[in-house]
């Protein structure tokens, strides 16, 4: 028997962080996505133990300031694409600049320096992943998905979807439906 699950990655990370920091008896505040403020000082031994326990879940503590900024950029983009009911109408560059209080040129340079890809490519990949999720889980039409993800047209969404996945959204939906019917 196969089980299909739906999960909230933000909630899962929060629970993992609370459990692992709680094991060490540290006082903390959960801030924005990907940020935790430790109220108490943490010993090197406790920090190493926390890093090891988080690594088990694929979570890494970032010490380098530029790496922290890259993670904040990714988190802001993911939050924008997955948490908002509809993407902002302002340009992505303005949105990121406003959210991070930095110039877009600086943000874009740091991001590409550390990830070897552009912010635009990262956004496209995240939007297509969200589109796949909306097709699979919510059963939305392509028109509804293109509106929700701020595509100018269904044709543009379809073209990007095919470029990223190698499949049209309709083909993708047929494959998912076929696999579900075979597993029922």
List pLDDT tens digits, range 57-86: 888 887 778 888 998 899 889 888 887 666
Q: For 8-22, 27-41, 156-170, which range has the lowest pLDDT when averaged over its residues? A: 27-41
21 or 110, higher pLDDT: 110
Residue 89's pLDDT is 66
Mind listing the pLDDT tens digit for each residue in 88-141?
A: 667 888 889 998 999 999 999 999 998 999 999 999 999 999 999 898 887 788
Q: Which regions of the chain carry the CATH code 1.10.10? A: 122-183
What token pair was written down for 43? 């010993």
Q: Which of 115, 110, 85 is nearest to 96 (CA)?
A: 110
Residue 5's pLDDT is 75
CA distance to 4, 83, 85, 130, per residue, from 79 (Å) = 23, 5, 11, 11
CATH tag, 122-183 = 1.10.10
Q: Which residue's structure tokens are 């609370």? A: 18
Q: Which of 73, 80, 160, 136 is nearest to 108 (CA)?
A: 73
């Amino acid at each position: 028997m196969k089980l299909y699950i739906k999960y909230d990655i933000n909630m899962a990370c929060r629970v993992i962080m609370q459990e692992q920091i709680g094991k060490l008896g540290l006082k903390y505040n959960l801030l924005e996505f990907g940020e935790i403020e430790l109220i108490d000082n943490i010993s090197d031994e406790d920090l190493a133990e926390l890093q090891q326990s988080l690594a088990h879940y694929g979570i890494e503590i970032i010490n380098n300031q530029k790496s922290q900024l890259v993670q904040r950029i990714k988190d802001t983009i993911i939050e924008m694409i997955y948490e908002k009911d509809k993407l902002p109408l302002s340009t992505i560059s303005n949105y990121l600049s406003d959210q991070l209080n930095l110039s877009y040129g600086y943000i874009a340079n740091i991001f590409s320096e550390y990830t070897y890809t552009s912010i635009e490519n990262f956004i496209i990949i995240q939007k297509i992943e969200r589109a796949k999720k909306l097709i699979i889980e919510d059963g939305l039409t392509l028109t509804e998905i293109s509106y929700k993800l701020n595509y100018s047209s269904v044709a543009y969404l379809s073209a990007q979807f095919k470029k990223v996945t190698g499949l049209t959204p309709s083909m993708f939906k047929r494959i998912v439906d076929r696999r579900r019917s075979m597993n029922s």
